[in-house]
Amino acid sequence: MASRTLWNIEEKMRKSIEGLRRELTTVRTGRATPALIEHIKVEYAGVPTLLNQIAGISAPEARLLIIQPWDKGSIRSIEKAILKSDLGLNPVSDGNVIRINIPPLTEERRQELIKTVRRRIEERRIALRNLRREAMEELKGFEKNKDISQDEYKRTLDQLQKLTDSFIADTEQIGRDKEVELTEI
């Protein structure tokens, strides 16, 4: 029982870290990457649809993104969604494809993005600690019902703490890496 609880919490923590990695790919750095815009929701046929589901996105150069919609009629909707996305990007369309030049980041914008990254890292640390608390409550219930011994309870709590510490360290490393990426010119 205790090992199953640890395994479940480890899976949830791993998914949390993977979610953080995906989330941070959407934070704009000076480089063009399709992950920057693929999460944008576009109004397509009356339904909000992810951009990467209605168009191909490529980055042929370090500062250029090209969006090739599969339906040319969706170009206007895609442009509107990009403008509303709060990424500070200006799409340019020639009727067939949309080009987005990624301007270099100003120092002020870099600092704002670093604050955003730090806030997301802190939110993820809180989520990891909440998962630990959830597991601790479950283990406490097992011990209270005599499903596990006191020794096993304490041993499992130690393992849980080590697991949590390692995932928090991973989270902080991801944050430091993203900050370094943001400060590169």
**Paired tokens of 116:** 């955003």
pLDDT in single tens digits along all 185 residues of the chain: 788 889 999 999 999 999 999 888 777 666 778 888 888 899 888 888 888 888 999 988 888 899 999 988 888 999 988 888 877 788 888 888 999 988 777 888 788 888 989 999 999 999 999 999 999 999 999 888 888 889 999 999 999 999 999 999 999 999 999 888 888 75
Determine phi and psi for 100, rounding to 5 degrees. Answer: -130, 115
What are the domain boundaries of the chain? 2-25+106-183, 34-101
Hey, what CATH class is 34-101 in? alpha beta
Residue 55 exposed, middle or buried by CB count within 10 Å (0-12, 13-18, 19+): buried
Q: Is the pTM of this model over 0.95?
A: no
Hey, what CATH class is 2-25+106-183 in? mainly alpha
Q: Which of 179, 34, 169 is nearest to 116 (CA)?
A: 179
